[in-house]
Amino acid sequence: LWKISSVVKKYMLDPKLGKMLCDLEGIDGIRVWHDQTLQKGPWANPSSWHIDVPAWSFHSRHAVSIWIALDDATIQNGCMYYLSGSHREAVYEKRGGFSPNVGAIFEEYPEWQESEPVSVVLKKGDAAFHNGLMAHAAGPNMTPRSRRAMTCAYMPDGATFNGIQNILSNEQIGKLKIGDVLNDENQVPLVWSKEMGNP
């Protein structure tokens, strides 16, 4: 979205946001990984419990995402849920729960089955942040209206390619080898780094 919308670019690549994300994760620089809209239509199914980083083209314990409500996100229309503390225990080697089965992640992490999920109700325009290894899901939309949101994922500056294609094109993959730094400004622009100073 940041490539086609000047409004999205203005906010998602704002150095003030980048500095805040770096402060949250205790890192010295951050880049956009990818953004997307999350359209949960009327009467839509829940989104399964999952962890993002195992599916991404880099591995980091300091990836972070912003989730922005474009409509009120309620229990009734499919707000987000988190398993508090799961980011401390999650590992890259497990698939991360992506499945049509809402609870598939508990086959990989049976120790989380007794965890109480935290629901995050947001007003239109509010945002929540979560670490890229935090288990999260969204409930069903039990209303006749859409629940719209967008998210932007960020990776630490200096993150390296792990061999997973994810959002990268075949052309980009053809130029990378495992261990290469992901720093293509046209794909993963730098939002803020310590060298830039305070925004």
What's the pLDDT tens digit per position in 50-94?
Answer: 999 999 999 999 999 999 999 999 999 999 999 999 999 999 999
Cα separation values, 18 from 6, 57, 66, 68, 94, Å = 17, 20, 11, 16, 29
pLDDT at position 97 over 80: no
Mind listing the pLDDT tens digit for each residue in 105-124? 999 999 999 999 999 999 99
Query: φ, ψ for residue 54 (rounded to 5)?
Result: -60, -20
How many CA atoms are closer than 13 Å to the CA of 118, on its beta-carbon side? 11
Cα separation, 79 vs 77, in Å, equals 6
- Scan for tokens 């629901």, then name that residue: 119
pTM over 0.75: yes
